[in-house]
Amino acid sequence: MKGILGILRHNTPHKELDAAPDSKLFATTFLGTGTDPDLLVPWEARAVEIGATRIDSARATRLLQTLWSRDKQMSKLDLDAVIRMEPFLEYAAVPAGRELIRQDEHSNFMLVLLSGSIAVDRLQPWGERLRMSEAAPGGILGEMSLLDGGIRFSACTTLKDCEIAVLSATALDEMMNADPALTASFVTVLARKLSLHLRGVSARLSDKK
């Protein structure tokens, strides 16, 4: 993570930035895990499979602003930052009962739930489907695989009709090329939020010992 932030914070003059090749840092992260590129499931393929339909981006961006303004970590991105992210996000409506993310698959996109609810389950070796949590509006899902290129730890399924914001690895690279400062701020806030969540999980597991 320090390496990623170091690249994002590098202060390159505009002329040099224009001449530099476009970043593919996030889109190629999964290659470091030895993953066969043919096994990678992009959002575009999943969207077709689950019948996702595009929704108005201006309304969805306002909704995202409101939700993140209530989040202790994500509120560190001001309203202007969320507006600047709009061209790189895809907003979609998804019917109930659709699997947005599958456990153990390779895919490199994250989701923000804007409305509805999403079940986060983990399939156990003996076949039981264990409910880990239910995401409410404002919840972020899949960010770990977006950042580290690893496989999905759990399955995420819509419990109701949902509206979501999607950020793919390719779009994140495009954002880094177009607005490095915004990308640095976003990844820093996202990494801090993920770190705090993992620390909380570790603390709960320690208490159960």
Q: Are 191 and 36 in contact (CB under 8 A)?
A: no
Backbone angles phi, psi at 120, to 5 degrees: -115, 110
- Residues near 171 by beta carbon (within 8 Å), at least 6 away in sequence: 88, 89, 90
Give the whole-number percent of the chain exceeding pLDDT 70: 84
Backbone angles phi, psi at 202, to 5 degrees: -60, -40
Q: Are 142 and 41 in contact (CB under 8 A)?
A: no
The answer, yes or no, to whether residue 24 has pLDDT greater than 90, is no
| pLDDT tens, position by position, 62-111 | 999 999 999 999 999 999 999 999 999 999 999 999 999 999 999 889 99
Q: How far apart are CA 171 and CA 154, in angstroms?
A: 23
8: closest CA among 172, 144, 146? 172
The answer, yes or no, to whether residue 34 has pLDDT greater than 80, is no
Output the six-digit token pair for 160: 């109701």
End-to-end CA, the chain: 30
Domains annotated for the chain, with CATH where assigned, are 2-203 (2.60.120.10)
Mean pLDDT, the chain, as a whole number? 86
Confidence of residue 21 (pLDDT cuts 50, 70, 90): low
Q: Is the model's pTM score more than 0.85? A: no
Beta strand spans in 74-172 (E): 90-94, 99-101, 109-115, 118-123, 129-135, 140-141, 155-158, 162-168
| pLDDT tens, position by position, 144-155 | 888 888 889 999
The predicted structure's pLDDT at residue 74: 94
Q: Are 165 and 90 in contact (CB under 8 A)?
A: yes
Confidence of residue 48 (pLDDT cuts 50, 70, 90): very high
| pLDDT tens, position by position, 99-142 | 999 999 998 899 999 999 999 999 888 888 899 999 999 999 99
Confidence of residue 205 (pLDDT cuts 50, 70, 90): low
Output the six-digit token pair for 59: 């309304």
Give CA angle at 159 (66, 186), nearest 5°. Answer: 35
Residue with structure tokens 């930052």? 81
The predicted structure's pLDDT at residue 17: 41
The predicted structure's pLDDT at residue 51: 97
